[in-house]
Structure formats: structure tokens, C-alpha cells
Amino acid sequence: MRTSLHSGGSLTSLSMSLDEAKLFRERVRMLREAKGLSQRELEERIGKEENYITRIETGRIDTPPIEVTAKIARELDVSMSDLYFFEGVDDSAEALRAKIQHLIQTDNPKRLRKYYRLLLVSHEE
């Protein structure tokens, strides 16, 4: 994933590989449907024209501008990183537990504290 900067130094878009873009589109669709929103309802909430979400979900819009992505994330009640981070999305609870168990098989207290803090923070959401 690559980023593009506006002349003023602000982030304008993220450039993704074809696989990343496909996963992003699928993630937007999955989260939108889980939230019970139609494409049109999401378009209205983010202030975009008709068929904008359709074009994102079908790949006719490669990568929406970062400010649009932020609006989509807000309306879907997820962080922007949740739209781009795909690891474990399709894993079962059992598979996720196994991955977590693998991570915590360390004797490094600093690393364990970090994992613990991350779990606490994510639990509060």
C-alpha cells in the first residue's frame, strides 16, 4: 500500500495492489451489509452521488480519496485501519484463538504487556 500527499502535505489517497484493492472492496461491502445499509443509504450518509458505493465495491473506483474513506469508516462504525487491515477477517474463533495463543507463547514481559494493553484497548470499543 502506498500513500499520496497533497501539495499542502496532507494525505489524499492510498494506493493499493490489486489484491489489496479487492480485499478493501469486499471489506466495505461486508461491513455495509453487516450494518444493514444499502449502497444508496451509505452514499447518502457520506454525501456522495448515486452509484458511488457500487463503483467502489465493483472496482470502478480504484481507491476513494482518504476523506471519503474516513466518512465510510465513520458510518460503518469502524476505524480506517479496519477497512484496510484484513488479517484474520475470515478466520473462525478457533483459528483466531490459535493465532493468539501462538503470539503469547513468549517469556518477554514487555511484549506480553503490549499484547495485554492492546486487548484492553480493543475490549473498550
Q: Is the pTM of this model over 0.85?
A: no
Split at pLDDT 50, 70, 90, the class of 48 is very high
Q: What CATH class is the domain 2-84?
A: mainly alpha
Distance of alpha carbon 38 from the chain centroid:
18
pLDDT for 16? 67
**SS3 annotation, 34-55:** HCCCCHHHHHHHHCCCCCHHHH
Residue among 36, 75, 84, 39 at smallest CA distance from 57: 39
Nearest-5° Cα angle at 85, 113 to 79: 80
Mean pLDDT, rounded, of the chain: 82
Q: Any idea where the domains of the chain sit in the sequence?
A: 2-84, 93-124
Burial profile 116-125: b = 16 or more Cβ within 10 angstroms, e = fewer: eeeeeeeeee
User: Mean pLDDT, to the nearest integer, of 43-49?
Assistant: 97
